[in-house]
Amino acid sequence: MKSFDSVTGLVLPEPKNRLFLWSVLIVVSLISGAYFVGNAFFANEYKQRLARWGLIRTIPDSKSNACKRQCWPFGSDALPEGIIARTSNLEMRPLWDSGRDHRIIKRPLNLLAMAVGLKQKEIVSKIVEKFLSSDFVVMLFHYDGSVDGWKSLAWSNHVIHVSAINQTKWWFAKRFLHPDIIAEYNYIFLWDEDLLVDNFDPKRYLSIVKEEGLEISQPALDPTKSEVHHPLTVHKAGSKVHRRYYKLKGSGRCDDDSIAPPCIGWVEMMAPVFSKKSWQCVWHLIQNDLIHAWGLDRQLGYCAQGDRMKNVGVVDSEYIVHLGLPTLGGPNGNEAPTDSSGGNARAKVRMQSYIEMQVFGKRWKDATKKDKCWIDPYEQQANLTTH
């Protein structure tokens, strides 16, 4: 029997039926709640998947709106900003008392990197001693694989040693001198090992480079003792710096109207010196597979942070001797008259260098044609000069 409410006049269901209705309502409520919660969860997961696939852009929450990360280092988006270490250096850290030593020791601001072999140990030692006394970090690239042979020198434990058999300094530089690794150094000296530095002082050299605004430079070569490949590099007595070379007769003339290497805006590759900003460009210009870097010198001016006719030069007052010793091309990274097949190893190295120069030239030409947004500033300069 159904009960009757005398106040409202409504017929009430039996207690059993009433309990059944309440159970139905509870079940329906639970199902509805689960639906909406699950729908929101799966929708959010679906959006995240689409975002990962690049199909939609994620919708940032209110916190993200206030924390837009621009120019974030690649791969660091999962980290809080304060923990990110963007750059590094070549400073060796002690195993204990690092805090105390860090406060006491003045950190060097410039870097000398050289490709070396044990046969030139005496020459290299004189160079290293001069640069270490001028507060440089020194990094030696051992192309002959011999590192232990340098341990007898007092400074050996104070420099960075990297070893790889029969590799050039450009191979080493591309792999170990990334701009983010050497970001703390103002100038990078990337030198060969066969240089005499009796008339060279690193501190005076840098003082002149800064005064003259040279982003890319090299010390001049003593013409009486050096192997000279390009007349622009020859030391001029009584001069502090020169940027231009003159040849007024014969082919390949260089005069006041010349605006391109090797007449002006050019240095050779045995002893180049780069500012931090120019190296950030030059590193990208070095090809990963073309380890001899022939042809690279012609394009260095594009990294001169402005006009290569002003920002590239040869320093005369601090000059060196280039001995021109043949090294790479034999067993253990040193010169040998023949290789294992009976051929002249050095001749093969030079042939490979020439081939790489041709490849680099073609890559440059192809790149300039394909990049529709790139404008050659020196082509425009040449057009203005001819007109």
Dihedral angle at the C-alpha atoms of 61, 67, 71, 74, nearest 10 degrees? Answer: -60
In the prediction, which pLDDT does 196 show?
97
- Please state which of the ranges 88-97, 226-235, 281-290, 314-323 shows the lowest mean pLDDT: 88-97
* Domain contains 97: no
Residues 257, 373: one domain?
Answer: yes
Residue among 267, 279, 301 nearest 185 (CA)? 279
Residues 40, 159: one domain?
Answer: no
* Domain contains 107: yes
As a whole number, the mean pLDDT across the chain is 84
Residues 216, 365: one domain?
Answer: yes
* Domain contains 46: yes
In the prediction, which pLDDT does 93 show?
81
In the prediction, which pLDDT does 55 show?
44
In the prediction, which pLDDT does 342 show?
44
Does 369 have pLDDT greater than 60?
yes
In the prediction, which pLDDT does 50 show?
45
Does 38 have pLDDT greater than 80?
no
Calpha distance 281→285 (Å, rounded): 7
Residues 31, 121: one domain?
Answer: no
Does 49 have pLDDT greater than 60?
no
In the prediction, which pLDDT does 184 show?
93
In the prediction, which pLDDT does 59 show?
45
* Residue whose entry in the numeric block shows the structure tokens 């530089």: 173
Residues 317, 382: one domain?
Answer: yes
Calpha distance 333→118 (Å, rounded): 9
Quote the domain boundaries for residue 22.
3-53
Give the pLDDT mean for 322-342. Answer: 62
- 275 vs 83 pLDDT, higher one: 275
Q: Could you give the 3-state DSSP secondary structure of residue 334?
A: coil
In the prediction, which pLDDT does 327 show?
78
Q: Per-residue confidence at 18, pLDDT binned at 50, 70, 90?
A: low
* Domain contains 66: no
Does 351 have pLDDT greater than 60?
yes
Residues 112, 46: one domain?
Answer: no
Residues 276, 202: one domain?
Answer: yes
In the prediction, which pLDDT does 123 show?
97
Report long-range pairs for 331-336 (Cβ below 8 Å, ≥24 apart): 332/144, 332/145, 332/146, 332/165, 333/117, 333/142, 333/143, 333/144, 333/145, 333/165, 333/166, 334/117, 334/119, 334/144
* Domain contains 361: yes
Q: Per-residue confidence at 140, pLDDT binned at 50, 70, 90?
A: very high
Give the pLDDT mean for 100-125. Answer: 85
* Domain contains 86: no
- 52 vs 202 pLDDT, higher one: 202
* Residue whose entry in the numeric block shows the structure tokens 């050095």: 346
Q: How many domains does the chain have?
A: 2
* Domain contains 63: no
Residues 15, 155: one domain?
Answer: no
User: Which of 40-44, 52-56, 163-167 ranks highest by mean pLDDT?
Assistant: 163-167
* Residue whose entry in the numeric block shows the structure tokens 């067993």: 331
In the prediction, which pLDDT does 91 show?
85
Does 284 have pLDDT greater than 80?
yes
| Residue type present at position 53 | W
pTM of the model: 0.77
In the prediction, which pLDDT does 255 show?
92
Q: Could you give the 3-state DSSP secondary structure of residue 195?
A: strand
Residues 39, 163: one domain?
Answer: no
Residues 310, 381: one domain?
Answer: yes
Segment 266-282, tens digit of pLDDT: 999 999 999 999 999 99
Residues 125, 41: one domain?
Answer: no
* Domain contains 206: yes
What CATH number does residue 372 fall under? 3.90.550
Residues 205, 339: one domain?
Answer: yes
Does 24 have pLDDT greater than 50?
yes
In the prediction, which pLDDT does 343 show?
57
Give the pLDDT mean for 194-220. Answer: 98
Does 9 have pLDDT greater than 70?
no
- Please state which of the ranges 132-136, 303-307, 338-342, 379-383 shows the lowest mean pLDDT: 338-342
